[in-house]
Amino acid sequence: MENKNTLENVVALCKRRGIIFQNSEIYGGMGGFFDYGPVGVEMLNNLKRYWWKDIVDKRENVVGIDGTIITHPKVWEASGHIENFGDEVVECKKCHQRFRPEDIEEKCPSCGNTEFTEPRSYNLLFKTEVGVIEGSKTTAYLRGEACQNIYLDFKNVVDSTRQQVPFGIAQIGKAFRNEVTPGKLTFRSREFEQWDLQFFVHPNDMEKWFEYWKDERMKFYKGLYRKHENLRFYQHPKEKLVFYAKDAFDIEYLAPWGWAENEGIHWRGDYDLTQHMKFSGTDLTYTDPITNEKFVPNIVETSGGVTRTFLYLLLDAYEEEDLGEGNSRTVLKINKDIAAYKAAIFPLVGNKEEIVTKAREVFDILSDGFKVVWDGRGNIGKRYRYQDEIGTPYCITVDYETLENNTVTVRDRDSMKQERIKIEDLDEYIS
């Protein structure tokens, strides 16, 4: 069961152990902007590789791209973001804080007042300017969703690769939304990352591929998190679907504040390519090389939040364990593929040269194949506690016995069991 304080504890852990920092903290911070620390950046990179491997590397019918954050401003007209990408905002008449109507239950969450202004709509896109000469600058936007690049590059990918419909284009990248109520650490931020797959299919095959990706994406999240009971599908009610969608599902995660979106699986039909054809005047129809049939490919989209998944992962992994006799530990039982370091290398003592040298050798051998970390500071118990808190699966101690028989102590994060392993077998043990 989730502890009510899990979010607070995870926030504290993130700062204490260099996972996530408030951006510009020395200036008092900026709501909705975060930096990843030395441990967090390793985990975040591992998480992105984990997705890329699953979506791109292991499939013959998906290729990747990496697009820009600023695109032609017409993209956002075509996508509807300039007209419709908004939230409703109400303002508390007493403390003047602004909220989304769905985030208030009668009373102002900040001051308890019950009077608000009428809801006004508010566009989430961040504006910027391109060009240097005053008067001839063009208004542009930081992308409000990363996936638009995929539609823009669709024709280039078809023309430059061996892919044929059905195939997918994948991308991981930043998105920016001037959210009214950023909060819950990185759950709702103003700068965040998304992973998107747009899978292009023949219109007659939509049903089949929609089901396929729905299953694949749930399998993916089940492979990532420990607590599968915290995952579910939420089907959007038919009356709330946009006109081009026959179906839509969210994969939701049970956060300490309730079920919340993790990823959307969307039936986009031919809407995106048709819109971009209309606004750009460029033909984006596809000609089947075998049948010569011309059609606008339909799209199954899977669009999830990388940084949001990362937060859910921390919540999923966080444990406080009672070890008896007044002892306890905090441990991050995070997926071993995502852990910042696969192993920590400890020289038992820092003042015995042979031990330190031997530990360096172990570090050098292992760091060829894995990300490992060195810790020669303080007593072993404290080093274990530190590595537990950042989720390092194995702690390897080089001691006096190592000098005699080339074995080391390997301690497992989850079971806390210790084993003697030969140095030459470590590689295999860890993988």
Task: Give the residues lining the site for ligand ATP (CB under 6 A).
Answer: 145, 177, 179, 188-189, 192, 194, 261-264, 303-305, 307-308
Distance in Å, CB of 361 to ligand ATP, minimum: 43
- 176 within 8 A of 69, measured Cβ to Cβ: yes
Which residue, 177 or 268, has its beta carbon nearer to ligand ATP? 177
Which residue, 188 or 268, has its beta carbon nearer to ligand ATP? 188
Which residue, 78 or 165, has its beta carbon nearer to ligand ATP? 78
Calpha distance 221→122 (Å, rounded): 33
Name the residue with tokens 């989730």: 2
Nearest residue (beta carbon) to ligand ATP: 305
Residue-wise DSSP of 341-381:
-SEEEEES-SS-HHHHHHHHHHHHHHHTTS-EEE--SS-HH
Sheet holding 298-305, edge to edge: 62-64, 167-176, 191-201, 298-305, 258-269, 248-255, 231-235
Pairing of strands 343-347, 372-374: parallel
Distance in Å, CB of 426 to ligand ATP, minimum: 38
Q: How many CA atoms lie within 13 A of 99 on its CB side?
A: 22
Distance in Å, CB of 251 to ligand ATP, minimum: 8
Distance in Å, CB of 363 to ligand ATP, minimum: 36
Which residue, 307 or 387, has its beta carbon nearer to ligand ATP? 307
Distance in Å, CB of 237 to ligand ATP, minimum: 15
**Measuring CA to CA, which residue among 405, 386, 407, 385 is closest to residue 396?**
407
Distance in Å, CB of 313 to ligand ATP, minimum: 12
Which residue, 31 or 378, has its beta carbon nearer to ligand ATP? 31
Which residue, 253 or 286, has its beta carbon nearer to ligand ATP? 253
Cβ atoms within 10 Å, residue 56: 17
Residue 163 backbone dihedrals phi, psi, to 5 degrees: -70, 145
